[in-house]
Chain A
Amino acid sequence: MARYAIRLEELTKDYPIGFWRSRPVRALDHVSLDVEPGEVLGYLGPNGAGKTTTLKLLMQLVYPTSGRAEILGRPAGDVEAKRRLGYLPELPYFYDNLTAEELLVYFGGLFGLAPAVARTRASILLDRVGLGAERRRRLRHYSKGMLQRVGIAQALVNDPEVVFLDEPMSGLDPVGRRDTRELIRSLRDEGRTVFFSSHILSDAEALCTRVAIMVQGRLVSTGRLADLAFEVQGWELVVSGGDGGALASLGLDAVTTAVDGRYVVELPVDRPPDQVLPELSRLHVQVVSLTPRHESLEDYFMRLVARRQAPAA
């Protein structure tokens, strides 16, 4: 048993740009990172930070310029490692003329599964991603979100120990995002290692044991999300029981009415909840939920970059 599920060592990738005189562009710059078995790692960063490049290097879809990537103690691209991993590419695309079930049976076959076994597993997985009813439809008729779900199902067809998901939430509606979050949570509960990338911070919240934050091809910080210094930019408060007038008397103007008598209140930074909550209980308004709104990853990176440049200046 390898010590690490995933290990990146000084992983670097240059892409040649231009046709005649190739001027290399560094997509990934000496990234080192270890992921332990059973961890759920959020690989976060804005678009173009090198997240997809890292995943392609792990799948050996591209070759590193220098450094190495290992999965389960084996070099990237090793067939024995591939037997034990699953991979959802970014904006996945499969074969138009196949049905979801046929795709999973084909891919199952590549793992040596007998057709009957593969079919059983396909129907379990398609139920799990909510496509049970659509499994006999050709993929050409699938929406983006449905393809995303098929992509997750095919990544699990071999019951993998390590699952790589590249932007699993992109292109999904709110229900899809919730389902995907649930799915990742269940993968974690099953003891699998999950490595997923996202450019949206909130995707990582409540899911990840750890996050790694990438900016411009470099790993800028890793750690538990709570330990990272994200600035709180306000809170989202959901209440019920009061009426609009009562809330207005508190001087809270950013109020929207939600269904079944609930209200969503945006609390700015200068009205922290510990000030507001006592007043609410005075007005017999029940608090349904309270969520801090963090700064976006972009803002965080801007701040990091500014802070890094400041001493040098």
Chain B
Amino acid sequence: MTERSTQWWQRPVWFTAAMVLLVAVFVSTAVMRDRVYAATDPETELLYIPSGPVLARMALSFDALLADVYWIRALQHYGGTKRGDSEARSYELLGPLLEITTTLDPHFNAAYRFGAIFLTEAYPNGPGRPDLAVALLEKGIEQMPDRWEYYMDIGFIYYWWVKDYGRAAEWFDKAADVPGASWWLRSLAANTLAAGGSRQSSRMLWREMYDSADTDWIRNEAARRLTQLDALDDIDQLIAASGRFVERAGRPPSSWDELVGASLLVGIPLDPTGRPYVMDSVNGTINVASDSSLFPLPGETLPPLPQ
């Protein structure tokens, strides 16, 4: 007998019908979305990568932001350790931090490229782990196969740090295969294969790097490497001068002053950053000073001073 102002949806039949219709619509849009767009769902790949995914889920869709946090932590860890006391410099967290960063945000370009540079840098300026750097860049390639820079960076690591010029040339070639890659990669690959490790091919590598750098950081890094190559040229000259001193005096020089006195040098030789070169007469080597920003010089084992 109760009378209620009845709206259509207050009748069970209509309510049920409307509810069924609405549920059908949202379920079918969900099915459609999963069919059509599942491939672009970034989270599906993440499911199978250890450690980071747990965090990605915990982040409840704020994973990109969390990636930024981890990236900043990686930077702080690297920078802080590098600047810290030379004793007990441990970069052991750098790898995991970069791993988490790139898992949280698999498209984090800087984390791959800068991360790889940090990882390869020789101790004490970095952990000296080219293997981790290559693995990180390969992960980046998996996410973004059209980034030719990542292939080039791997080739680079093989060239500069591992000194496997065959492998390096292979990766430069792969980089050149990616559409839109720089034209000089092909010639870099050929050059590496022919004269890998020569200072001239190294100079070409860094010169191209310098010219194509898209950030100041990479350009500065390339400039530093080119300066180091200049320092190596200087050291060749200094070794030649020492050789002439040995010829004349019959003994190795003990200081720069002796070479200046013999008119073989016009003054104390300075490296391109203005720090004097160091002659280690005990071990018989010439090197940049350990407080020079060029230290340590890369790659080539320094030739011994003539005895």
* A-to-B contact residues, CB < 8 Å: 60, 63-68, 75-79
Contact = CB atoms under 8 A, between A and B. Distances in A.
B4 interface: yes
A286 B3 CA distance: 60
Nearest to B2: A64
Given A60-B4, A68-B1, A77-B4, 4 more contacts: A64-B2, A66-B2, A68-B2, A79-B5
B1 A77 contact: no
Contacts of B5: 60, 75, 77-79
Contacts of A68: 1-3
A68 B4 CA distance: 9
Interface residues of B, number: 5
B181 to A, nearest CB: 63
Interface in B1-26: 1-5
B1 A66 contact: yes
A63 B2 CA distance: 8
Contacts of A60: 4-5
Which secondary structure characterizes the binding site on chain B?
A: loop
A221 to B, nearest CB: 26
Contacts of B2: 63-68
Interface of B: 1-5
A283 B2 CA distance: 66
A274 B4 CA distance: 57
A67 B4 CA distance: 11
A104 B32 CA distance: 50
A78 B2 CA distance: 13
Nearest to A69: B3
A255 B3 CA distance: 57
B1 A63 contact: no
B82 to A, nearest CB: 56
A77 B10 CA distance: 14
Contacts of A66: 1-2
10 contacts: A63-B2, A63-B4, A64-B2, A66-B1, A68-B2, A75-B3, A75-B5, A76-B3, A77-B4, A77-B5
Contacts of A79: 5
Contacts of A67: 1-2
A79 B5 CA distance: 9
A60 B6 CA distance: 13
Contacts of B1: 66-68
Contacts of B4: 60, 63, 75, 77
Nearest to A10: B1
Contacts of A77: 4-5
A64 B4 CA distance: 9
A81 to B, nearest CB: 10
Q: 3 tightest A-B contacts by CB?
A: A75-B3, A77-B5, A64-B2
Contacts of A75: 3-5
Nearest to A76: B3
B1 to A, nearest CB: 5
A67 B2 CA distance: 6
Contacts of B3: 68, 75-76
Nearest to A82: B5
